[in-house]
Structure 1
Amino acid sequence: MIRKKSRLGKPLDLAELARLLPAPADPHLSPDRHLLLEDHLMNEIQSTAPVPAPAASAPPHRPARRVLLIGVPVTAAALAGALVFTALTGSGGSDPAAATPPPVDAPVVRIEPGSTARLASTVERIAAAAADRATPEPGPGQYIYIKSQVSYLSVSHTDTEASKAQVEPLHIREVWNSPDGRHGWLDEPGYKPKGGVTLDSDVTRGLNAPSYDYLKTLPTDPDALLTKIYKETKGQGNSPDQQAFTTVGDLLEEQLAPANLTAALYRAAAKIPGVVVLEHAQDAAGREGIALAHVDQDSGDRTEWVFDPTTYTYLGSRAVQINDTNGIAPGTVTTRTAVLERAVVDAQKQRPGAQGTRT
């Protein structure tokens, strides 16, 4: 066997070294998987990145109800993205001490059929109670405070296992907003940086980013209000009816609205095709009630607004999977919320007490 002499003391030629080494493999994602991973990564960046200072374009809304985690083989091409993904999801925002709790299995409930038989009378009771309820009006320098208990869905989906629906553990979310919507604060331990994030923004207020001052400008005639909602949300969401229902729900969840407008919103919602009444529903705090509900035909889940069966006070909401879509079994509860406190306070980050006026 002939051996080549080594060239001691002389640097190896890189081209020759590359020739002597075995050719590297070419692991790469298919175009479809690459796009899925890229889309998910961008969603994670947008939903977990710290909120910018006052120059932000818009305040953050509640988290999207559904995050699709796509399992891919760990290849050299995916390794860098996987490392970034781990860094983003492994902590609450930028604070490494605020670790995000691991998800838990989503609860499953019996699906109760809805009915329109008592829709008109039920909505009228809810609307009348809202109109009669004393609602404080926040003044300059004050803040609208909303404390909620929430849980949102994340779906893990792998190549080798069936889809597994998991949700965030129930946790507290607190929001402060000035009446004009220009100043605010959000505290959601484990899901936002420790201490919270600013909601300060100069964005123009509208149905998708309402402020108390904006809500006061909306019509209180249910037909005119619904017409405005359909017009200004055209092209958004999965269908005009579902988007209208979702918009009304968003106006009720983490905001304070004048009593007459709240009543008008309920009466407008009753006119949306597909809205039904449920005799039994439950919010995130475990409170039993009746509900107004609407099914999203694309995602296959039903959004339910839960009300106290005696006082007709809005308690919270939940989303229940009705059809087997994206591998999520019917009856799976994909979202749960409960409004624990709604008040006007005198300063940002102040909680209700002697200085706060509760609703």
Structure 2
Amino acid sequence: MIRKKSRREESLDHAELARLLPAPGDPHLSLDRHLLLEEHLMNEIQHTAPAPAPSRRAARRVLLIGVPVTAAALAGAFAFTALTGSGGSGPAAATPAPVEAPVVRIEPGSTAQLASTVERIAAAASARKTPEPGPGQYIYIKSEVSYLAVSHTDADESKAWVQPLHIREVWNSPDGKQGWLDEPGYKPKGGITLDSDVENSLNGPSYDYLKTLSTDPDALLKKIYKETKGQGNSPDQEAFATVGDLLREQLAPAKLNAALYRAAAKIPGVVLVEHAKDAAGREGIALARVDQQSGDRTEWIFDPKTYAYLGSRAVQVKQADGIKPGTVLECTAVLERAVVDAQKQRPGAQGTGA
């Protein structure tokens, strides 16, 4: 005898399922609900425990890469990006709206004059007098910066959006355990603490740690490759990025600076770019390398006469993430590098607690 399946045991077709199940809700949030969730998110961010010093990758890849958004949502998405990870407890200032990323001519890179130029940069670094921070003092770095906000909007996929150029000031104790960051518009008003008990390494070096590093370029490069193994897009790119991060918001002994430049020149893919411009508009020459995965070229820019480090720039050189070649994804300029007597004090205001 063949047993006939009951209706309950038979599979239901799509039409019948649609008839039996309740109609799906509208997934679109109302504006009020969206604002409520956004307010809750911002409160959660601002009331977290103080964050340690920002990671070395403070730039483009931490941000909203490749995320298409509507133009109307751009400012809100940017505000979220700028505030995430901030450790301040004060109210956040209004985040400036992002601007369209500049597009420049891609300058060719070459190894023809690389070795001789690096020697001149290293020699100038060795001869340059650098201040020696003592106990209770702070290393002060003032920069002008702009980083990528979003790669494009769904209204116009040909444009990338970046932060407007703005000032960023950092104070760090020589041992790296105490610090402060002030970045109006991108961190809570008054700034955030960078105090940290994290052990020093190449990923977050203090001045005291840098003093322990070898000034032999080969030994230094070997250590960099060893300590950054498995990080980044490739060993060579990570080694180059690590050296660059040591130049940006840190003070290093003169001989170590020279060794870092000589070590960088030994990394495969590093080239010399004859014309580059930092965030302050200063013209210079650059040591550069293309990240083969992301398609952008990081440039460390030096004064063509004094060979002093000026700042950095990242330029897209091949299409990737919807970003067209020539787009300037980030740009920095070191405006001041000094030793001061107190946290939040600025050069020229010694003893005033400015």
TM-score range, shorter chain: 0.7 to 0.9
RMSD across aligned C-alpha pairs, in angstroms? 2.8
Structure 2 residue aligned with 1:245 = 240
Q: What's the CA shift for 1:95?
A: 5.2
Contact 1:91 1:190 in 2 (8 A): no
Contact 1:155 1:163 in 2 (8 A): no
Q: What's the CA shift for 1:23?
A: 3.5
Distance 1:116 1:89, change over 3 A: closer
Distance in 2 between the 1:110 and 1:72 partners? 27
Distance in 1 between the 2:257 and 2:80 partners? 38
Structure 2 residue aligned with 1:140 = 135
Structure 2 residue aligned with 1:68 = 65
Trace 1:63-212 onto structure 2 (pairs within 5 A).
63-66=58-61, 67-68=64-65, 70-71=67-68, 88=80, 98-158=93-153, 161-212=156-207
TM-score, normalised on structure 1? Answer: 0.79
Distance in 2 between the 1:306 and 1:230 partners? 23
Alignment equivalent of 1:345, drawn from 340, 344, 348: 340
* 1:59 pairs with 2:58: no
1:124 aligned counterpart, secondary structure = helix
Q: What's the CA shift for 1:25?
A: 1.9
Structure 2 residue aligned with 1:37 = none
Q: What's the CA shift for 1:59?
A: 1.3
Q: What's the CA shift for 1:350?
A: 0.2
Distance in 1 between the 2:322 and 2:151 partners? 10
Gaps of 5+ in 1: 1-21, 30-40, 74-81
Identity rate, percent = 74
Per-residue deviation, residues 246-265 of structure 1 (Å, max 9, x unmatched): 00000010000000000000
Distance in 2 between the 1:340 and 1:189 partners? 16
* Paired amino acid for 1:162: E
1:266 aligned counterpart, secondary structure = helix
Per-residue deviation, residues 71-95 of structure 1 (Å, max 9, x unmatched): 479xxxxxxxx9x968736979665
Aligned length: 309
* Paired amino acid for 2:80: L
Distance in 2 between the 1:135 and 1:329 partners? 40
Structure 1 residue aligned with 2:24 = 25
Q: What's the CA shift for 1:155?
A: 1.9
Distance in 2 between the 1:145 and 1:267 partners? 25
Distance 1:170 1:51, change over 3 A: farther
Contact 1:182 1:202 in 2 (8 A): yes
Structure 2 residue aligned with 1:32 = none
Distance in 2 between the 1:124 and 1:24 partners? 72
Distance in 2 between the 1:338 and 1:321 partners? 19
